Amino acid sequence: MSCALVAVILYWQIGDTVTARLISKPNLLTPKLSLRAMQHIINVNQTLQVTCRGSAPISWSWPNHIVNGSEKLRIIHFSCEDNDRLFCSNLTLNKALGQDTGYYSCNTISSNSSLSGKEKTQIYIFVKDENSPFVNPHTQIPQAVHMSNGKKLVIPCRVTAPDLKVSLKMVGRNAPRKSIAINRWERLQYNTKLHLYSSFHIRRTSQGA
């Protein structure tokens, strides 16, 4: 009788242990960044540091012109101190420039069949540069944007800070006298009923509040 009772107790103890491990094992969750906002602003020549935590090995994405492993950008993977079941990684961007403005993403990919899938968390980094307000100024050769009659035209105008105010001015014989104010930094949809072949100048008008 006593032997049977001991066997039952051991069974439940082992069962509880296995159950606890299954519950504590992390699922493939969305990775977490140390910068929690959707966007973050740094000044030119400053250093950007972002840490990512995830339940699977971590990889990063950043603007294409930046080369990993150089003095400009470094990625360090390490074990999370407070939870050895999680993966941690740190991205460091040195001497940031205005053209480094863009999305920086932390990605986790699981090879476990029960946790299949890919998760991503991203943040938009502005590198504020008073002397270079545009990410891609195209000062030497104007950028060509194709348009179709009767359709909306998206003119790229990426700025290095969200509080900059810019205006769009058409240059040419049929150009209107007034400039067009741009209130959204994401994109501008321009009415294509104006002259089909024209040149535009996008310029900074003033510093926002």
Close Cβ partners of 147 (under 8 Å, ≥ 6 residues apart): 153, 192, 196
Domain end: 128, 163, 181, which one? 128
Domain end: 108, 128, 148, which one? 128
Same domain, 107 and 145: no
Strand order in the sheet with 199-207: 180-182, 164-171, 199-207
List, for residues 31-75, the tens digit of each pLDDT value: 999 999 999 999 999 999 999 999 999 999 999 999 888 889 999
Query: What Å distances lie between residue 93 and 45, 100, 136, CA to CA?
Result: 10, 9, 19
Same domain, 108 and 188: no
List, for residues 90-137, the tens digit of each pLDDT value: 999 999 999 999 999 999 976 654 445 578 999 999 999 988 888 887
Same domain, 109 and 153: no
| Model pLDDT, residue 112 | 58
Same domain, 71 and 109: yes
Its domain, for residue 163, covers: 133-202
The number of folded domains in the chain is 2
| Model pLDDT, residue 22 | 32
Confidence of residue 150 (pLDDT cuts 50, 70, 90): confident
pTM: 0.68
Give the DSSP H/E element, type plus range, for residue 199. Answer: strand 199-207
Q: How much of the chain, in percent, has pLDDT values that exceed 90?
A: 36
Average pLDDT along the chain: 73
| Domain of residue 121, CATH code | 2.60.40.10
Whether 94 is in a domain gets the answer yes
| Cβ–Cβ under 8 Å, residues 155 and 200 | yes
Q: Where does residue 88 rank: exposed (0-12), middle (13-18), buried (19+ CB within 10 A)?
A: buried
* CA–CA gap between residue 21 and residue 56 (Å, rounded): 17
Same domain, 105 and 139: no
